[in-house]
A and B are shown apart, each in its own frame.
Chain A
Amino acid sequence: MLVRPKAGILDPQGIAVERALPALGFDGVHDVSVGRMIELDVPDLAELDAMCEKLLANPLIEDYEVEHLEDLPTV
């Protein structure tokens, strides 16, 4: 699950990172946005959207996308 600030909402973390990069010599970087990644092993993929809407993301301020990682090595 990738969760990020909704477009148009000020993302001070992204701005701070964007300002730090030139200090290290990485120029020309734009549109930095900092979100979070949530990894889950779920029995039913159909429940993922409901999980995001109800808990993992706040749809008022965040967008999310689901990435399916098949064939991960099991521990």
Chain B
Amino acid sequence: MRFGVVQFPGSCDEADALAACDRVGDAELLWHGDHELRGVDAVVIPGGFSYGDYLRVGAIARFSPVMQEVAAFAAGGGPVLGICNGFQVLCEAGLLPGALLPNRSLRFVCRQVGIEVADADTAFTRACARGEELSIPVKHTTGRYFSAAPVRVVFRYASGVNPNGSQEDIAGVANAAGNVVGLMPHPEHAVDALHGSLDGLKLFASAAGAPAGV
């Protein structure tokens, strides 16, 4: 299983994402200007501040050459995971429904939170059980999820811990097919005993164990 981790100018979590993928398979960096995905089996869009997050979070990154390839890969059923800024980019690109708005508090939040797996049938939650609670950190200023249309909810913040005012405690969603998943919490920061939690590994293990092409 080979993961490709996309780096935009302004990405900052690609190293941890590579390290996380490396624990369940092989991982390599993809550059935002690439016109091909080099045959990877899964794509991770990591956190950070792509293109400075100018205009709106994720708004400029969606036009990068590599995102055209990611869109085609996703349309063909390829597994794609967007983490934090990656989630925002996937929403702006229309690969996931909805949008992320500034936290209700208008403050940056950085803390360990519990998230509940609401859907264990996506490319990135197959190694989880429905209803299982994972301990994973959040760190963001623009994480308030909103969608006017019904969505496939994959993760919800545990009762009482919603850090951003997100609609219906939504922490992560999937596309209808379940091969594209985005979430605000950072599973790549919860893959080692030193992190205080190994729960994030389950998302990467889910993709690694999935049949080719999902």
Interface of A is mostly: mixed
Nearest chain A residue, comparing its CB with the CB of B104: A12
Choose from A9, A12, A55 the contact partner of B146 (Cβ within 8 Å).
A9
A66 in the interface, Cβ–Cβ < 8 Å? no
Interface of B is mostly: loop
Query: A10 vs B146: C-alpha distance in the bound complex, in angstroms?
Result: 10
CB distance from B33 to the nearest CB of A (A): 19
A14-46 interface bits toward B, Cβ cutoff 8 Å, 1 = contact, 0 = none:
001000000000000000000000000000000
Is there contact, CB below 8 Å, between B102 and A13? yes
Size range of the chain A interface in the assembly: 10 to 19
Interface size for B (C-beta < 8 A) is: 18
CB distance from A64 to the nearest CB of B (A): 12
Is there contact, CB below 8 Å, between B55 and A60? no
Residue ranges of B at the interface with A (Cβ–Cβ < 8 Å): 55-56, 59, 63, 92, 98-99, 101-106, 144, 146-148, 165
Is there contact, CB below 8 Å, between B101 and A61? yes
Pair count A-B, CB < 8 A: 32
Residues on A with beta carbons closer than 8 Å to the beta carbon of B63: 55
Nearest chain B residue, comparing its CB with the CB of A16: B106
Known contacts A60-B98, A61-B99; A55 and B55 CB within 8 A of each other: yes
Known contacts A9-B101, A61-B146; A56 and B106 CB within 8 A of each other: no
Residues on A with beta carbons closer than 8 Å to the beta carbon of B144: 10
Is there contact, CB below 8 Å, between B148 and A60? yes
Residues on A with beta carbons closer than 8 Å to the beta carbon of B98: 60
Query: A9 vs B102: C-alpha distance in the bound complex, in angstroms?
Result: 11
Query: A9 vs B36: C-alpha distance in the bound complex, in angstroms?
Result: 38
Choose from A9, A10, A13, A58 the contact partner of B59 (Cβ within 8 Å).
A58
Residues on B with beta carbons closer than 8 Å to the beta carbon of A55: 55, 59, 63
Nearest chain B residue, comparing its CB with the CB of A38: B55
Query: A12 vs B99: C-alpha distance in the bound complex, in angstroms?
Result: 16
Is there contact, CB below 8 Å, between B103 and A58? no
Query: A60 vs B92: C-alpha distance in the bound complex, in angstroms?
Result: 10
Instruction: Give the residue among A9, A16, A56, A58 with the most B Cβ atoms within 10 A.
Output: A58
